[in-house]
Structure 1
Amino acid sequence: MYVARLAGLPVYDPNGDQVGKVRDVIVMLRQNDQPPRVLGLVVEVFARRRIFLPMTRVTSVDAGHVITTGLVNMRRFEQRPTEVLVLGELLDKTVTIRETDAQAVVFDLAMEQVRNRDWLLTKVAVTEGAKRFRRRGQTHVLDWADVSGIAQTEEGQGAAHMLAAFESMKAADLAGVLHELSAKRRKEIAAALPDERLADVLEELPEDDQVEILADLDTERAADVLEEMSPDDAADLIADLPTELAERLLTRMEPEEAEDVRRLLTYAERTAGGLMTSEPVILPADATVADALSQVRNAELTPALAAMIYVCRPPLETPTGRFIGIGHIQRLLREPPSALVSGILDTDLDGLRPDDSLQTVSKYLATYNLVAAPVLDDEGRLLGAVTVDDVLDHLLPEDWRESPPNEPDPPHEPGSPSDERDSLSHERESLSHEPQEVDRDAP
């Protein structure tokens, strides 16, 4: 079973209920070129929590799903010094093919169950560098012992094949994968990601990881990535950077983009001004429903931003001319495309003020059952819009991206499932020890 094909596969219990998704495979490297032992899987369950699933608890693995025995230890996965993540750390490694001394890059690895029912990492799929200009390199599937250097730390390790394995993963999920990796691998993966994809991932990472990754990029690329981020997220990130670096990045950004960010930085963090984005969907009064629907179809808009349009007098860039009203997407869908949006606006909402507190913003959204709300200045001009996702980011604990909330432990009784959970914590220990060699051919 090739490991890259396991990424994202659903994990089911015996009753057919989904437990989570496979995010990586954990192995323990061994000496004397012995194939590494597969200890288990990293499985992502509710609230983006990653747990350890021992291979002894896996009853079936195929190209479509993984089936477990049912009971799993919900303790958060923490990688140990002797353990290696196959997708996160071994893909894109440069190795040497022993027979020819040729250099090659690992693009997949295969595991199989052997006679003693252990799972081992037995095959290495590699791409050998092309020997002639414009010739594609050859691919080989080799035994583990036929390559060398895979266990060595490599400076400047690539990330193309790892990212290919996670290509369909949502930005928030990829951010979770990056958070679990070493600082070295985060830096290498960030270097390989396109600017737009990296911007999406940065928006989902904890602040410490954001600052670390951005500080490792060269100034020009860091500025390009900030331009791809939404202005409110870029402002939050720049506010966490050292003053000198922040100012250097702002001067490298496009003037219009930098101006939006600088304006957002003038507001306190936990206020409507600090929470808002300066780029909602803004239309003039003479726009039609068809115009509005074409704007909210933009794939780059979040669902919360696409749920509402804001109609204003010119200019239409924030801060706009006088704010007229909002149009709810649900109402727009019920009207003919040729109708003017000015005739179907909600004009009864007063809007928020930029210095309104987080609590005021939360009450406003809850009172009017909204997922977004306009922020207006004293002259009635639209400054931006606050969306519910940004409010939740600040209502949740600061470390919510790193430590999803635990479920309360059930009362302990002898022989209860908690006893079995305790036994599960010892399985990982036993898997890490070498078994005694047994001659299965002996009578």
Structure 2
Amino acid sequence: MPTRRGDRTAAAPITIDNLSGMRVLHTSDWHIGRTFHGRDLLADQETVLSGLADTVTDERVDVVVIAGDLYDRAMPSGEAVETCMRVLRRLRQAGAQLVITPGNHDSAARVGAFAEFATAGGLHLHTRISGLHEPVVVEDEHGPVAFYGIPYLEPDPARQVLDSTVDRVPGAGTVEGRGHAAVLTEAMNRIRAELSGRCARTRAIVLAHAFVTGGQGSESERRIAVGGVEQVPGTVFDGADYVALGHLHGPQRLDEHLRYSGSPLAYSFSEAEHRKSVWLIDLDADGLAGVERRELPVPRALATVEGRLEDLLTVAEHTAVEDCYLSATLTDEVRPLEAMRRLQQRFPYAVHLEWKPAGGRATASLRYSEALRGRDDRDLAETFVADCRGTEPTESERALLAEALRAVQASEVRA
């Protein structure tokens, strides 16, 4: 039966049987449905994420929290949704309660569909801004633990919702200021007010999807604001025993209780050195008792190579990266023809290619207007061919360009 707290109705607490306290697994940024330079990652994502069920079983995890970006887009494909459902089902079957909040890539409305029904099956979807102060409560031998989910807060829409619910949320105020820090501050004020109104000492875990000051980003994260406005200070989250952060794709510790789990797979070559992992959080009677890292398997490693195309295709030292997702930088003075096709004959997972000729180009630093000044159409056309191909046009090609220019000029006169 529901229990009453003041003028609010809360769901009955969930009780777990764990005599050593509570163990929570922190993960985020699954981005199910994402591709890697055009390569489908669904199979790799399902393999790695389904393996978390073994962690739940082996480590006796009670609750799994997913701090945003469950999917890679607001309207995920049917295949992505099916993959996600299979993974969540395995985690639930392994015995863990699941708490999820959406990130900036997700559609909160879609992720939160049928949330009330999902709760009965142990899947708790925190997607409503107006209800971010309403926790899932799980009890162990030491008492209750409240899990609060703050969905990604786009500042202006979030301010409107928060301000419109002031009269209906005990301890709420209006948003003071602008930007992410302002709306997250009000969100945490409401959470702290709800927490302080509880009769018994209640430990608190907060899920949030945000860019906290001090975090290190990578190339695969979508910017959530211009400049530094997106960043929020870690002190915004004071009062929680642990804050499970999402958004940044590298696992990192900002404070003992304030961490990013990072994404389970690498989604850009800037993440090649990341040790993808999850955090295992232990809670005892006093709150946070310890945090441990558990590294995740790497379905396919990332590698970068640089050099002349012929060298990359023949040098033995590159044998070790033949099965990696590969980014190649070619230094040939002339742009090689069909470079990617030739690379993929040796490196079947080559997905990214750049051409940076050794020594660069003498004209590369010229401003566009300076490069054009004093040059006729024929000279510009010949230079264009040389820049694109890396070699000067032949005499026959120069003659063809001249004939084409004369035809254009003649058509302009007739017009």
- TM-score (normalizing by structure 1): 0.24
- TM-score (normalizing by structure 2): 0.25
Structure with more contact order per residue of length (Cα contacts < 8 Å, sep ≥ 6)? 2
